[in-house]
Amino acid sequence: MSTRRLLMERGHDVRVFAMHHPENIELPDETGYAKEVNFAGGIKAKLAGVRRILGLGDIRRSVAEVLDDFRPDVVHLHNVHSYLSPWIGEEAARRGIRVVWTLHDYKLLCPSYSCRRPDGSVCEECLHGDFQVIRYKCMKGSSAQSLLADVEARYWNRKRLAAMTDVFIAPSHFMRNKMLEGGFPQLKVRTLHNFIDPRKSELLAEASHNPREDYFCYVGRLSEEKGVETLLKAATDAGVRLKVAGGGPLTSQLTSRYASNPDIEFLGHLDAKGVVNLLSRAKASVVPSEWYENNPLSVIESLCAGTPVIGAAIGGIPELISEQDGVLFTPGNAEELSGILNAFDKRHPFNHKSISERAVRKFSRDGHYDSLMEIYHGKDRE
């Protein structure tokens, strides 16, 4: 929605095409949406879901009607697998419309999206097209769902996806490199970092002047791949204060396990102002991910608030952090992280104002818009 708002504010006509769902954001475009599919329903619903994955049935009619009515110059894809289908891009390309695809995860390289096995280990076995999703039951530990993911990956294979797409936008250099390793053409994959909403960056920049307090913080999902337990162990060993904001599948387990530690505080979900206040007063935020993060907003927001980031050296995180604004550590290494937390105050002090100014400038929507226009008009070069 942020890209839609950016384009409309610059005078472009934008139409959103999505799937009907009761939790959708209300938009004037929704009358032309695709029908809802429910993979958790009965046999009939599941068959409809399979047809949707393959780009068969009603999705073709819905896409054709939208393209006929709106006649776009560019079709910009986001997360179209499964619930919509890459058929949208293929039909647009067939009509001579430029197709741009922003990559939010590793679906085009890994049938289960995350380059991560059910046991939590990072995996690249599918990177070169030798799909192992069935072998490891990568889709929620289910043989049936893993089989379907395998079928989808082979049906919408990389050659087919590359043929229909003019430019893939990778929000990190790390993701771009993985796409190239996976066989996608070099000239078709462009790096373009995410941008931050100007209203939010303004709030964060203003808050960067807040006095710092004696705590570290984590903002994000409480789930295994985020490495939260590694952080909690490290903070406990280092004897430092830690404030944790967010929720997820590990919430009850972690709050129970660390209830006896008075230095660890679980805040639950915070609104935007709460996050800004938390980040801007922390000594540092910690991003302990143990999977291939792409271009994490948690890092960007922290830097815009002038708050240094202690980040795991994995995925796209290292390219966001320099010696001027943070520290990197080995993902999953609680002992190393504990040492960093313990010695943090002994480091040369970070310049919070400079950290904020650099980040706000780097992740501005003006720069993002200019680069996006180059991509839309075919003038981009990596």
Q: Token pair of 292, please?
A: 């291939």
Report pLDDT for 1. 80
* pLDDT confidence of residue 381: 58
Q: Evaluate whether residue 115 is within a structural domain.
A: no
Q: Are 39 and 46 in contact (CB under 8 A)?
A: yes
Cβ(218)–Cβ(279) under 8 Å? no
Cα 291 to Cα 259: distance, rounded to the nearest angstrom: 27
Residue 73: which H helix or E strand, with range? Answer: none
Q: CA angle, 185 as apex, 290 and 380 as ends, to 5°?
A: 95
Nearest-5° Cα angle at 183, 179 to 186: 65
Q: How many domains does one find in the chain?
A: 1
DSSP per-residue codes, 95-128 = TT-EEEEE-SSSTTT-TTSSSB-TTS-B--TTTT
Look at residue 279 and tell me if it is in a domain.
yes
User: Does residue 107 sit within a domain?
Assistant: no
Task: Could you list the beta-strand ranges (E) of 55-188.
Answer: 74-78, 98-102, 167-170
Q: Which residues of the chain have pLDDT under 70?
A: 380-382
Taking residue 65's Cβ as centre, other Cβ atoms within 10 Å add up to: 12
Assess if residue 326 is contained within a domain: yes
Concatenating the DSSP letter of every residue in 184-240 gives --GGGEEE------HHHHHHHHHHTTSPP-S-EEEES--SGGGTHHHHHHHHHHHT-
Report the predicted TM-score, pTM, of the whole model to 2 decimal places: 0.95
pLDDT tens-digit readout, 237-292: 999 999 999 999 999 999 999 999 999 999 999 999 999 999 999 999 999 999 99
Other CB atoms within 10 Å distance of the CB of residue 103: 23
CATH code of residue 304: 3.40.50.2000
User: What is the extent of the structural domain holding 245?
Assistant: 198-362
Both tokens of 259, joined, read 């209830």
- What are the tokens at 30? 């929704």
Residue 367 lies in a domain: no
H/E segment holding residue 244: strand 242-245
3-state SS track over 258-316: CCCCCCEEEEECCCHHHHHHHHHHCCEEEECCCCCCCCCHHHHHHHHCCCCEEEECCCC
pLDDT of residue 30: 83
- The answer to whether residue 27 is domain-embedded is no
Which element (helix H / strand E) includes 245? strand 242-245
Q: 3-state class of 138 per DSSP? A: coil
Tell me which residue of 206, 209, 200, 201 sits closest to 360, measured CA to CA.
201
- The span from the CA of 218 to the CA of 70, in Å, is 43
**Residue 142 counted as domain residue:** no
**Does any domain span residue 275?**
yes
**Which of 78, 64, 83 is closest to 21 using CA atoms?**
83
Q: CA angle at residue 226 from 224 to 230, to 5 degrees?
A: 75
Residue found by looking up tokens 């004897």 in the block: 239
